[in-house]
Amino acid sequence: MRVLVTGAAGFIGSHLAEALANAGHDVTGLDALTGYYDRSLKRENVGRLAARGIETARLDLAADPLGPVLSEVEAVYHLAAQPGLSPDTDRRAFVRNNVRATERLLDALAGHPHLQAFLFASSSSVYGREATGAEDVELSPASVYGRTKRRAEAAVRARAASERWDSCILRLFSVYGPRERPDKLIPKALRCARRGQAFPLFEGSEHHRRSFTYVGDAVEGLVAALDRFPRCAGQAINIGAPSSTSTLRVLERVAEVVGRPLCIERRPPRPGDQQNTRAQIETARRLLGFAPATPLRDGIAREADWLERTRTGQAAP
Ligand code: NAD
């Protein structure tokens, strides 16, 4: 199929674009290369995709004309977003890149003659501080990020109801691995352990638990959603590891992998942080055959290896 991946220069989008091409799809990427984190990481991803024959159109979904890049597509994976919970991120960036960008993309796809599937990467953050239930629980996001993802989900569903194409909402849980965003727990901890620097821990977060999901496992779930699309049309599906691990345990794992202790510097609590996430994946198992299998220690070791190769300028996975 001819597939467009928005957010293709980003962490998950770049892995997804490659996996779809490996599965035989004709893939195009789209990304604005926003400045939320070091653009050179995104440029590297664009270069990696180009080497695989995947072009990435540099377009801003919230501002640029989208007609030409959409004209032939049969499936869209919409991953472009303002992610994260950083208090330094202006609320307007979440509204712009999560809500307005999604609405503009949906507008540009209105009446599309070829589109069959619109797959939206949402987040466990739509559930709120506790994300341990099935997909049909009431959504009560605790952060601006989560609220803008919920608004985007609603826009996708509403639009799909009046179009010839169908949608599927894929709610991702704490994805980690090579190319991960530098603002996240695992790459931050890996960098601190390697450099012997103190790790800034948000007060209380040591006991937070998360479904840490290896990026390769998450991408298998995303790809399966298109393979089995008629089955998952109209659904919301959790994509995550079915077990949860505390922040403290992750930091211990990081120290083991790096082979150095990690000293901790406490910081004030971060608003909007989730307390407990554990993906209930019955729906994903049933509809997608989803079976995430990467042990946390192996995934962290692969990410550490990637960070090391990036630092030393060697080609990274
Ligand atoms: P990322 O920041 O690495 O990738 C997002 C990409 O979107 C970036 O490359 C950015 O430049 C692009 N983008 C942002 N606004 C844009 C716009 N207006 N027009 C075009 N491109 C734009 O983030 P990621 O971690 O790879 O996340 C990918 C998706 O998965 C996001 O939708 C995110 O909400 C979702 N998600 C991620 C996680 C996770 O743990 N990483 C968890 C849950 C959900």
Residue to substitute in 148, 172, 176 for testing ligand 1 pocket (most ligand atoms within 8 angstroms of CB)? 172
Please choose from 4, 6, 12 the residue to mutate so as to test ligand 1's pocket, defined by most ligand atoms within 8 A of CB: 12
Q: Is the CB of 79 under 6 A from ligand 1?
A: yes
pLDDT digits (tens, 9 = 90+) for 216-265: 999 999 999 999 999 999 999 999 999 999 999 999 999 999 999 999 99
How do residues 152-186 score in pLDDT, each as one tens digit? Answer: 999 999 999 999 999 999 999 999 999 999 999 99
Residues in the chain, overall count: 317
Indicate which residue of 36, 77, 127, 145 is catalytic. 145
Q: What is the DSSP string of 96-122?
A: IIIIIHHHHHHHHTTT-SS--EEEEEE
DSSP 190-220: HHHHHHTPPEEEETTGGG-EE--EEHHHHHH
pLDDT attached to residue 217: 98
Report the mean per-residue pLDDT for the chain. 95
With a 6 A CB cut-off, is 131 part of the ligand 1 pocket?
no
Q: Which H/E stretch holds residue 277?
A: strand 276-277
Query: Distance from the CA of 312 to the center of ligand 1, in angstroms?
Result: 26
In the residue annotation, 176 being an active-site residue is answered as no
CA distance 101 to 218: 23
Please tell me if the CB atom of residue 34 comes closer than 6 angstroms to any atom of ligand 1.
yes
pLDDT band at 317 (very low <50, low <70, confident <90, very high): low
pLDDT tens digits, one per residue of 179-229: 999 999 999 999 999 999 999 999 888 899 999 999 999 999 999 999 999
d(CA 155, CA 190): 37
Domains of the chain, each with CATH number or no CATH: 2-176+212-242+273-292 (3.40.50.720)
The single-letter code of the amino acid at 282 is E
